[in-house]
């Protein structure tokens, strides 16, 4: 049943987007679109992207501590961050921008790209600033822009602000009592 609904939706999308009239459930492009939707669902699965965030924070404790200081100061410790707090949390926003920037290493815009440095985005929203905010391009452009952009960005922000507010993420300690630095490796995949 799910498969029939998926294929029906894919057929509607193909007709609206490309004007292709689908005649059969086994249409090759419908099957392709179905696989694309599965990939998108997987990318949007709760936890699929924020899972990268824990090793990032463990490796960059100073960024975590600065964001925690900001959230404690602005939101307080009696409640958790909400969307209405977003405009009042510039460092937490810059932290999310730096997570997005992990997708680019362009030294023209981001000197020392291997350094995790949310501060590089703090001035980007000032009038006249020429800095390029990663959120302005990681979701693509024009007609092919990510259809899930607002959902993905809002979910990521809420997840990150709440993780920062609630958890003191640090490196694990091995049997010899030494800190274990998580590897900065990405698995091949849609957004990871």
As measured in angstroms, the least distance from the Cβ of 35 to ligand HEM is: 13
CA 58 to chain centre: 17
**Is the Cβ of residue 75 or residue 164 nearer to ligand HEM in the bound state?**
164
171, 181 Cβ separation under 8 angstroms: yes
CA 163 to chain centre: 14
2-20 burial code (b ≥16 CB/10 A, e <16): eeeebbeebbebbeeeeee
**Is the Cβ of residue 89 or residue 152 nearer to ligand HEM in the bound state?**
152
As measured in angstroms, the least distance from the Cβ of 92 to ligand HEM is: 16
**Is the Cβ of residue 94 or residue 152 nearer to ligand HEM in the bound state?**
152
Which residue lies nearest ligand HEM, judged by its C-beta?
Answer: 148
**Which residues of this chain interact with ligand HEM, rule CB under 6 A?**
40, 43-44, 49, 138-140, 144, 146-148, 151-152, 156, 191
As measured in angstroms, the least distance from the Cβ of 138 to ligand HEM is: 5
Among 71, 72, 76, residue whose Cα is nearest residue 158: 71
As measured in angstroms, the least distance from the Cβ of 71 to ligand HEM is: 21
Among 142, 164, 136, 150, residue whose Cα is nearest residue 60: 164
């Amino acid at each position: 049943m799910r498969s029939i609904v998926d294929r029906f939706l894919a057929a509607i999308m193909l007709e609206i987007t490309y004007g292709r009239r689908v005649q059969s459930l086994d249409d090759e492009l419908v099957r392709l679109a179905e696989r694309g939707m599965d990939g998108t669902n997987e990318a949007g699965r709760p936890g699929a992207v924020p899972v990268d965030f824990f090793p990032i924070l463990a490796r960059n404790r100073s960024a975590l501590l600065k964001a925690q200081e900001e959230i404690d100061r602005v939101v307080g410790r009696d409640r958790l961050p909400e969307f209405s707090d977003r405009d009042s949390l510039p460092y937490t926003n810059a932290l999310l921008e730096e997570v997005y920037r992990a997708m680019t290493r362009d030294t023209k815009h981001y000197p020392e790209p291997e350094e995790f440095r949310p501060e590089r985005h703090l001035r980007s929203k000032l009038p006249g600033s020429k800095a390029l905010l990663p959120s302005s391009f990681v979701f693509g452009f024009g007609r092919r822009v990510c259809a899930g952009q607002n959902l993905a960005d809002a979910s990521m922000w809420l997840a990150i602000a709440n993780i920062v507010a609630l958890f003191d993420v640090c490196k694990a300690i091995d049997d010899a009592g030494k800190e274990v630095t998580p590897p900065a490796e990405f698995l091949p995949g849609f957004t990871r």
